[in-house]
């Protein structure tokens, strides 16, 4: 069973998923930088590209979204098996200047805009509603054939005519009433969007998906979860109210955690996050893996390291590769590595051993909710696989290019540094009688706090009943901050003026 730990701060929400005490999934969402995936927009087609069979759509965000022809063709046409998307020109589907309703399916990554589709889907607790496609699907993770048939029979009875429904893994064992209630909620969402899309001019957002904390409760907090702990009283109550609607039986597993303690430090998560940013990951046996990202793909290399084995070299190699396969699956999931992945296992001449390692990798990847595909081992002994790329990997969220080494290394993002500082200010507020605090930071962090995040700083002062003075110091490393003094307000002012 897993555990979910949620750190709700003023600047960021952070979610950690633990399995047997190990961090396996990590999500961050800033208050002023919401994710786009799942959102629905009324957009305007800006440029049709026949050569690429795609179009750019203005949805009102920084970069125009990208729409492929297969995502633009109406579902009723796609149902005709005699027609392929290759046979249809993008020009026959949409025109420049046309208003179009689209849903984001992939976040903007690097220099690319978001990817969108006209085939809208609405995920619920147990079901996914596809209002424009007549289809029934059952999650592959529900393996019992009798249960699959039972669920399919229920869906056939409750499914609205002409619409599609996918049964999610969490529906395993659920009753008809639960499924009906979930469908009723999803139909209300769809009906609201049908009304909204007729109002106003493009570009405009007409539906925003749930925030990170509510998505976590909907998509990750299941009967397989031992406990969900959160350090925010308001969200704690909201989660209980939300569970009243979707899974009342799980309410007893939600725990409110003392907000005066850094919840991620308490459970050792901060240290595990730092390890997730490391290029080298040590294995328990003494071997290690190295993870490198290139523009086109991710390369993972396995080394024997300190492990010398007990008997022969072949046995040593197979043991290291098997251990590495489990760790690689964990790291891919934790770091949210997407796209093409090349794994350079230590050479194994025995085909049986190769297959054993692949089977272990497949079994470990089965826990990943993102789709993966193992393509096999090449003649050079490299294993090729792909993983669906939905959002930026964890390193690009937590880190940015380092200005001290002209981009060859990385430092923490201002968001991460400010969140770390917020945790320290919370500790001072709870455990001391200080009225004010003087903080020394790098000038770039000073600029962000005093200019871009002035309202945030005021909110911190209000929530923590603490006057915060920020002072820039160009001698400081950008990752660091220093609490110069804390105490009475008059004393802090005296220090500043001296």
Rounded distance, CA 69 to CA 115, Å?
A: 12
Q: Which residues of 23-45 are buried (b: 16+ CB within 10 A; e: fewer)?
A: bbbbbbbbeeeebbebbbbbbbb
pLDDT per residue over 471-487, tens digit each? 999 999 999 999 999 99
Across 412-421, average pLDDT: 93
Count Cα atoms within 13 angstroms, Cβ side, for 225.
25
Structure tokens at 188: 């209300």
Which among 128, 124, 135, 18 has a CA at the least distance from the CA of 76?
135
More confident residue, 181 or 307: 181
Confidence of residue 424 (pLDDT cuts 50, 70, 90): very high
Is pLDDT above 80 for 278? yes
Q: What pLDDT shows up at residue 455?
A: 93
Inform me whether the pLDDT recorded for 311 exceeds 70.
no
For residue range 199-213, what is the model confidence (pLDDT) as tens digits?
888 999 999 999 999
Instruction: Walk across the sheet containing 297-303 and list its strands.
Output: 280-282, 288-293, 297-303, 339-344, 383-387, 372-377
Judge whether residue 68 has pLDDT over 90: yes
- Is the pLDDT reported for residue 153 higher than 70? yes
Q: With b meaning 16 or more CB within 10 Å and e meaning fewer, what string describes 422-442?
A: bbebbebbeeeebebbbbbbb
Average pLDDT, the chain: 90
Coil, strand or helix at 411: strand
241 burial (CB, 10 Å; 0-12 / 13-18 / 19+) is exposed
Q: Which of 8-12, 178-182, 197-201, 308-312 has the lowest average pLDDT?
A: 308-312
Q: Are strands 339-344 and 297-303 parallel, antiparallel or unpaired?
A: parallel
Quick check: 369 pLDDT over 90?
Answer: no
pLDDT over threshold 90, residue 342: yes
Does residue 402 have a pLDDT over 90? no
Q: In this structure, what token pair is assigned to residue 69?
A: 């022809």
Report whether pLDDT(392) > 90: no
pTM of the entire structure? 0.84
Yes or no: say if 245 and 185 are a contact pair by the CB < 8 Å rule: yes
Q: 43 pLDDT exceeds 90?
A: yes
pLDDT above 70 covers what percent of the chain?
95
Instruction: List, for residues 437-446, the tens digit of each pLDDT value.
Output: 999 999 999 9
Q: Please check the confidence at residue 83 and state whether its pLDDT lies above 90.
A: no
What pLDDT, in 10s, does the model give residues 84-129?
767 788 998 999 999 999 999 999 887 889 999 999 999 999 999 9
Q: Quick one: pLDDT at residue 82?
A: 63
Of the pLDDT bands very low, low, confident and very high (cuts 50, 70, 90), residue 350 is confident
What was the pLDDT predicted at 258? 86
CA count, 13 A, side-chain hemisphere, 474: 0
Between 441 and 397, whose confidence is greater? 441
pLDDT at residue 428 above 90?
A: yes
pLDDT at position 408: 66
């Amino acid at each position: 069973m897993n555990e979910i730990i949620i750190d709700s701060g003023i600047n960021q929400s952070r979610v950690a998923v633990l399995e047997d005490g190990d961090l396996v999934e990590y999500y961050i969402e800033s208050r002023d930088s919401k994710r786009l995936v799942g959102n629905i927009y009324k957009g305007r087609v800006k440029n049709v590209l026949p050569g690429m069979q795609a179009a750019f759509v203005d949805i009102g965000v920084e970069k125009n979204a990208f729409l492929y022809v297969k995502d633009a063709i109406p579902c009723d046409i796609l149902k005709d098996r005699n027609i392929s998307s290759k046979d249809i020109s993008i020009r026959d589907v949409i025109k420049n200047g046309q208003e179009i309703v689209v849903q984001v399916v992939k976040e903007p990554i690097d220099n690319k805009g978001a990817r969108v589709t006209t085939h809208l889907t609405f995920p619920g607790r147990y079901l996914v509603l596809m209002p424009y496609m007549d289809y029934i699907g059952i999650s592959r993770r529900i393996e019992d054939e009798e249960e699959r048939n039972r669920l399919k029979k229920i869906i056939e009875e409750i499914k609205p005519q002409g619409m599609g429904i996918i049964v999610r893994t969490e529906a395993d064992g659920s009753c008809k009433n639960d499924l009906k209630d979930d469908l009723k909620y999803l139909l209300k969402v769809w009906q609201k969007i049908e009304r909204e899309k007729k109002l106003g001019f493009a570009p405009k957002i007409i539906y925003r998906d749930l925030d990170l904390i509510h998505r976590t409760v909907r998509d990750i907090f299941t009967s397989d979860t031992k406990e969900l702990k959160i350090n925010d009283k308001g969200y704690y109550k909201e989660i209980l109210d939300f569970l009243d609607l979707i899974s009342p039986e799980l309410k007893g597993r939600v725990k409110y955690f003392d907000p005066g303690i850094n919840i991620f430090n308490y459970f050792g998560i901060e240290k595990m996050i730092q390890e997730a940013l490391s290029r080298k990951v040590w294995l328990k046996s003494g071997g290690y893996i190295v993870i490198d990202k290139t523009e086109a793909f991710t390369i993972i290399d396995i080394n024997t390291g300190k492990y010398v084995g007990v008997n022969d070299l072949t046995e040593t190699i197979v043991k290291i590769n098997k251990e590495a396969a489990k760790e690689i699956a964990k790291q891919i999931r934790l770091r949210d590595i997407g796209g093409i992945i090349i794994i350079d296992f230590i050479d194994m001449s025995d085909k049986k051993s190769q297959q054993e390692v692949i089977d272990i990798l497949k079994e470990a990847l089965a826990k990943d909710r993102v789709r993966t595909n193992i393509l096999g081992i090449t003649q050079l002994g490299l294993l090729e696989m792909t993983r669906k790329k939905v959002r930026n990997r964890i390193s690009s969220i937590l880190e940015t290019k380092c200005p001290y080494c002209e981009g060859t290394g990385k430092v923490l993002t201002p968001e991460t540094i400010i969140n770390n500082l917020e945790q320290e200010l919370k500790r001072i507020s709870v455990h001391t009688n200080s009225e004010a605090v003087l903080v020394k930071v790098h000038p770039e962090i000073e600029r962000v706090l005093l200019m871009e995040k002035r309202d945030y700083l005021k909110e911190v002062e209000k929530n923590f009943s603490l006057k915060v003075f920020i002072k820039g110091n160009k001698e400081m490393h950008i990752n660091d901050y220093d609490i110069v003094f804390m105490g009475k307000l008059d004393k802090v002012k005296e220090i500043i003026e001296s």
